[in-house]
Amino acid sequence: DAKTTQPTSMDCAEGRAANLPCNHSTISGNEYVYWYRQIHSQGPQYIIHGLKNNETNEMASLIITEDRKSSTLILPHATLRDTAVYYCIVRVARSGGYQKVTFGTGTKLQVIP
Amino acid sequence: DGGITQSPKYLFRKEGQNVTLSCEQNLNHDAMYWYRQDPGQGLRLIYYSQIVNDFQKGDIAEGYSVSREKKESFPLTVTSAQKNPTAFYLCATLYADTQYFGPGTRLTVL
């Protein structure tokens, strides 16, 4: 699986959009971009994933550049409960097969009142 | 209410004791995984199971054992052979190429 690079930490004002970048310049054509977050002392929470098109769900939007070498996770209206470590991972989808999730260091997002 | 439950949330164990961590899911997902997470570190795979009555060792299986007698349940036993068991343990399921995690159990060896 391709390696990802994320900023170590970011701050965001409550109510504003949080834009979390991720670089994955060695991504392969069959690799998806996944985002998870982990609030302190809780299990990781799946947020969203995509292959090449932009995706949106009730939690966030995922914008993937046309060359797929980077992406941005957008939380449209950050709240204090969004304070967490956000992990961007890139992995091949192996339908029905064994899969292992490996997190890097992630971005610690602090939402400020 | 569908989801993955892990119990207990906190567990304390004396050295030399075996302890079993529970993981239950009602999502009807076939595959289940166990990871451990140490402070400031990523996830390390202990065991996984793709179907009932079958499981495979992950990267750090020594000192751990599992069973998969029911689709809904995948308990993890931490044995006395595990030299450094204090960690945060996470159970996960896999569905449509996405892993979903439980809330975790924090094990502390006294």
More confident residue, B41 or A62: A62
Residue of A34, A37, A59, A101 to mutate for B, most B C-beta atoms under 10 A = A101
Distance between CA B29 and CA B68 in Å, rounded? Answer: 13
Do residue B50 and residue A98 have CB atoms under 8 angstroms apart?
yes
Question: What local confidence, expressed as pLDDT, does residue B40 receive?
Answer: 77
pLDDT in tens, B21-74: 999 999 999 999 999 999 877 899 999 999 999 999 999 999 999 999 999 999
Question: What local confidence, expressed as pLDDT, does residue A8 receive?
Answer: 96
Question: What local confidence, expressed as pLDDT, does residue A96 receive?
Answer: 60
Within an 8 Å CB–CB cutoff, is residue A32 touching chain B? yes
Within an 8 Å CB–CB cutoff, is residue A43 touching chain B? yes
Rounded to the nearest integer, the mean pLDDT of chain A is 93
Distance between CA B25 and CA B73 in Å, rounded? Answer: 7
> Given a cut of 80, is residue A97 above it in pLDDT?
no
Q: Which residues of B touch A41 (CB under 8 A)?
A: 88, 104, 106
Measure CB to CB from residue B103 to each of A42, A94, A100 and give the nearest one: A42
Question: What local confidence, expressed as pLDDT, does residue B1 receive?
Answer: 55
| One-character DSSP codes across A23-75 | E-TT--TTEEEEEEEE-TTS--EEEEEESSS-EE-SS-EEEE-TTSSEEEEEE
Distance between CA B37 and CA A42 in Å, rounded? Answer: 11
Within an 8 Å CB–CB cutoff, is residue A55 touching chain B? no
B106 contact partners, CB below 8 Å, separation of at least 6: A41, B9, B10, B11, B87, B88, B89
pLDDT in tens, B96-110: 889 999 999 999 998
Do residue B43 and residue A101 have CB atoms under 8 angstroms apart?
yes
